[in-house]
Amino acid sequence: MGPPPREDRMDTALERVRAKVASQKQALPALYGDVDFDLTPERFTDDPKTSVAPRLAHAKLDPDKLALIKAYTLLGDVVADAYAALMPKYGFRPLIQMLTTACDQGIAAVPDAPPELAAFIADMERIPDWLDMDMVREGQKLDRNAAANLGPFAIRGAFIATFMNKYAALPMALTGTLSNDTAARRVNETATFFTTTLLPGSLERHGAGFKAAAMVRLMHSMVRFNALKRSNLWDVGVYGIPIPQVDQMPAGLIPIFLMSYKIVATGRTVFTPEERARVELARYRCFLLGLPEDLLADTPQGVVDTMNARSATLRAGFDDATCGELVRATLNAYLPPNERPENKLFDKVERGFAKVFFLKNFLNGDRAAARRMGVEIGPRDFMLFGLVALLVSSQLAAYRLARNVPGVADLADRRLVTRLKKQLARYGHAEFTSDAEQYRPAPGAKAAA
């Protein structure tokens, strides 16, 4: 007998996801007891014309994939949420300390470890059937080039992508990211996470990347807890669950999405070995962050279909008091660790690059729209963008060539690792925390009923 028909497999997968969504109410009544998981939040739309990607209005979208995305819009992170829900009992600092110890030394090293922590660590230690760590390690080597050469200039612009929709951006506004100082810390923490996961051995069980993923995962769950239980600004009927699984896809997989779009456009249906290694790295990193495997496609078309389904069902909405303030705070933030002359020069260059990157990638080159948001982009910014693009392109090409030269490849890789470690020192210590005491009202946000 062959495998069951695709329709039956999708029905089974959808039923499983819906059951997991509904189980949140029984598993975590203190957090989700008041949530109606049968509702369809305002953020979800079944009309692509009203979505963030109206270009998909006439596209052929997979109805099964759309239904799956809708279900995951109401799913948090069952095991990490259960641990975060212990904040009233332990306090958020002790939860972080226990998680740090469990990552570094194992769950047995935590005195009187709560079962929720044990379940959290066990979920991260689980080895998915598809995981090939040799391929993940190769993906790390490949991605080190872009991270070392392009990363310091692109991270601010890429971070802004999460602020262009009011339904997805509100959690960041609630956590106080509307201030320049907090925005700088969040940008540097994001850079720290992705850079850390590219270091040799970092994604092994006791590696720094594994630990960073656990901390980010807990931070997201703390945001969910604080938004739902300690803020009167979160309306589930409008925004759904804070930081649902579908909102974590773009940040974790955006390079893979962009690569897959290009591959599909050329008519190819499979990844090359190097592309596959980069995909598997991204998939495993997202797996450690708690993303369901249903959202981690492993073919170019599957990746495109998943992203299109998410884009076609996220309702468009830009609230200047939330989205605009987040964009401005991020673009105005001073990222370097101090104000030494070389750092002040880097800030000017990087900020100019980030503005044009933002203009080209998120505003379709509309400078008038940027001005309406309070973002002024002048000739000097375009000049800086061009200079950085030329420099970075030459460095990327040089390291790509070095990969194919025996005796030089290992030397070049060690050089990239050294540069990444220096970048981590510049980014500073990442706490990956979400303290409700630092939360501030989000202007224009609708109060919960």
Rounded CA Rg of the chain: 22
Of 181, 169, 183, 171, the residue nearest 231 (C-alpha)? 171
Q: What is the pTM of this model?
A: 0.89
Enter the tokens of residue 58.
């006439």
Q: Is residue 350 part of a domain?
A: yes
Angle (CA) 251 209 343, round 5°: 75
Q: Is residue 210 part of a domain?
A: no
Residue 235 has, within 13 A of its CA and on its CB side, a CA count of 15
Each residue's pLDDT tens digit in the chain (449 positions)?
555 555 555 578 899 999 999 999 999 998 999 999 999 999 999 999 999 999 999 998 989 899 999 999 999 999 999 999 999 999 989 999 999 999 999 999 999 999 999 999 999 999 999 999 999 999 999 999 999 999 999 888 888 877 889 998 888 777 665 666 788 888 899 999 999 999 999 999 999 999 999 999 999 999 999 999 887 778 999 999 999 989 988 888 988 998 999 999 999 999 999 999 999 999 999 999 999 999 999 999 999 999 999 999 999 998 888 888 888 888 889 999 999 999 999 999 999 999 998 888 778 899 998 888 888 899 999 999 999 999 999 999 999 999 999 989 999 999 999 999 999 999 987 665 544 444 444 334 333 32
Distance CA 325, CA 147 (A): 28
Q: Is residue 397 part of a domain?
A: yes
Q: How many domains does the chain have?
A: 1
Distance CA 152, CA 158 (A): 11
Neighbours of 5 (CB within 10 A): 9
Q: Is residue 424 part of a domain?
A: yes
Q: Which long-range contacts (CB under 8 A, 24 or more apart) does 101-108 make?
A: 103/206, 103/210, 103/211, 103/214, 104/206, 104/211
Question: With contact defined as beta carbons under 8 Å apart, do 364 and 118 qualify?
Answer: no
Q: Is residue 40 part of a domain?
A: no
Q: Is residue 97 part of a domain?
A: no
Q: pLDDT, tens digit, for every residue of 87-129? A: 999 998 999 999 999 999 999 999 999 999 999 999 999 999 9
Q: pLDDT, tens digit, for every residue of 294-305? A: 999 999 999 999
Q: Is residue 443 part of a domain?
A: no
Q: Is residue 1 part of a domain?
A: no
Residues 6+ apart with CB under 8 A from 329: 177, 178, 179, 180, 182, 183
Domain extent at residue 380? 56-76+133-203+240-432
